[in-house]
Amino acid sequence: MTSSPSPTTNTTTTPGAVFLTGGTGKVASRIASLLQAADIPAITASRSGRAPPGSDHTGVRFDWDDRATWEPALLAATARASQLSAVFLVMPGMLDPGPVAAAFVDLSRARTGANRFVLLSGSSIEEGGPAMGQVHALLRERGERDEIGWAVVRPTWMQENFMTHETHLKSIREEGKIYSATGAGKIPWVSADDVAAVAFAALTAPEPPNRDFLVLGPELLSYGDLAVTLTEALGREISHGDISEAELARRHQGFGMPAQYAAILAAMDTAIKNGSEDRLSDVVLRVTGRPPRRFRDFVEENKDVWKPAN
């Protein structure tokens, strides 16, 4: 029978490995690179079980929907690094992830002694709200009982969505359009690099932050503003297709998104239209020591991605 470290109430981090769920995703993979540069072992957990290309990290198979993968992944992590100091939580797209997160936090503490948990959430999701809001509340509650150190990273909409989301990538390439139901609503678009840098700091700081971080970009831009930037950078007309919330939900479903989740995302666009994301913060500058990346710089660095197929 395998012996396991006892759960600890000492939430101060000592040097050890970081366990990254969603390990091949756009934020976790960037955190892995930062950990490698800092000579901190990273365990990248994903359904494929593969580490990001070009890294020397350990990849382990992990599936939120298959609890039989959880303990082997954690034990493989402790075999690679004798101690886990922190866990990065990227929860699956479910409306009620609280019980799943609670079970995994408990198992992680029992099997590895991990004592810090950092959640990737979103700027529009408040503590105690639906989805990641439940996990946010869970981490604070466990922290207030001195069981864990914690942080919640709450980025706004990411610039990289225009590269990785098929809905945007396809419409820009094939139609010269970006679709939303946001009207003239503005968003402080943020780079995944900046999100990862804030998360890295939360995972590795000597003392746990025990707070949330609203991670925003440097400027407020509407989809119309983005279309102008894309037009100038790509040298061809890109326009904003301003559609209704219902039309946007149907569009999401057309790309394979479940109806309930599509409706939630579409409703977020209406909230943006009404000013929910009309705000700025200095979190990136304060935490990382550098200003967040502008959307224009992101487009200039990646403009070949949106070249038409023909």
Nearest to 78 by CA among 91, 66, 87, 89: 87
Give me the pLDDT at residue 93, please. Answer: 80
What's the alpha-carbon Rg for the chain, to the nearest Å?
A: 20
pLDDT of res. 73 = 96
Distance (Å, rounded) from C-alpha 134 to C-alpha 138?
A: 6
Look at residue 95 in the predicted model and tell me its pLDDT. Answer: 79
Q: CA-CA distance, 182 to 225, in Å (whole number)?
A: 12
β-sheet bridge partners, residue 240: 178
Q: What pLDDT, on the 0 to 100 scale, is given for residue 82?
A: 73
Calpha distance 284→294 (Å, rounded) = 12
- Report pLDDT for 15: 56
Give this prediction's pTM: 0.92
Counting as low any pLDDT under 70, the low residues of the chain are 1-15, 54, 310
pLDDT at 16: 83
Please name each of the domains of the chain with its CATH number: 17-155 (3.40.50.720), 161-188+218-278+292-306 (3.90.25.10)
